[in-house]
A = this chain, B = another copy of it.
Amino acid sequence: MENTTSNQTAQNDLQVLRTSSLTGALERELEHLILTGELKPGERLNEIQLSSRFGTSRGPLREATRSLQAKGLVDAIRNRGVFVRSISPKEALEIYDIRAALFGLAGRLLTDMVTDAMLARLNEFLDEMDEIAQQRDFDRYYPVNLQFHDFLIRSTNSSMLAQEYKSLVNRLHLCRARGLVQAGGLAVSNHEHREMVDALASGNRERAQEAFFRHVERSKQRFTTTLEK
């Protein structure tokens, strides 16, 4: 039994390596370590240590870190090494603005392609989040909230937009000062969600864009206020 499972995983690994690459796998692994916080902002990525940990040589690992550098997740200093990037509050605010702009675009695009089925699904989300918000259960609210936003972005059918948006969210995770930012405004947040969905249903592009934009901007403000104390 143990034999078959290990054979299976070995086959999976091979399957992965046929289409993807060792570098790509390492990159995903490192990205995971960074985003989960196992590798913390400012921490150095030791090539020897990491490559021996993953059982590869330094070459593919270096390629993976170059990719992460281009994505803005690490900084590289020549002859010193690569370090998990640390996003300053100033940079975080800049990213919030860009995220707001992209989310606003999502709202604008969705207005012209929204269906009854989509509105129904969105209202399901709203109801679910309302229920959770009333119980002040942040641990349950957070993932659904994430799903809600993901659903909206993916519904635009713009893979470029989805990719850019994800990249921004990832970088935002690297801001140390970003604790449980929105722990306070659960009900508030969902009120904004309703405004967004209503704007979509109204068919008014500019209104939807503005509603989506402001939702992220308010989240930015909540971040600012928690920052000041």
Whether A94 pairs with B62 at a CB distance below 8 angstroms is: no
Q: In chain A between 87 and 115, which residues have their CB closer than 8 angstroms to a CB of chain B?
A: 91, 94-95, 97-98, 100-102, 104-105, 109
A163 to B, closest residue via Cβ: B72
Contacting residues, chain B, for A70 (C-beta < 8 A):
66-71
- For chain A, the count of residues having a C-beta within 8 Å of the partner chain is 36
Main secondary structure of the interface of A (DSSP, over half): helix
Taking A63-B63, A97-B161, A164-B164 as known contacts, 15 extra A-B pairs with beta carbons closer than 8 A to each other, sorted by chain A number, are A18-B78, A23-B66, A63-B66, A64-B66, A67-B69, A70-B71, A94-B160, A94-B161, A97-B109, A98-B105, A98-B158, A98-B160, A98-B161, A101-B102, A104-B104
Can you give 29 A-B contacts (C-beta < 8 A)?
A18-B78, A20-B78, A21-B76, A23-B66, A59-B59, A62-B63, A63-B63, A64-B66, A66-B67, A67-B67, A67-B70, A69-B70, A70-B70, A91-B160, A94-B159, A94-B161, A97-B105, A97-B109, A97-B158, A97-B161, A98-B105, A98-B158, A98-B164, A101-B101, A101-B102, A101-B105, A102-B102, A104-B104, A164-B164
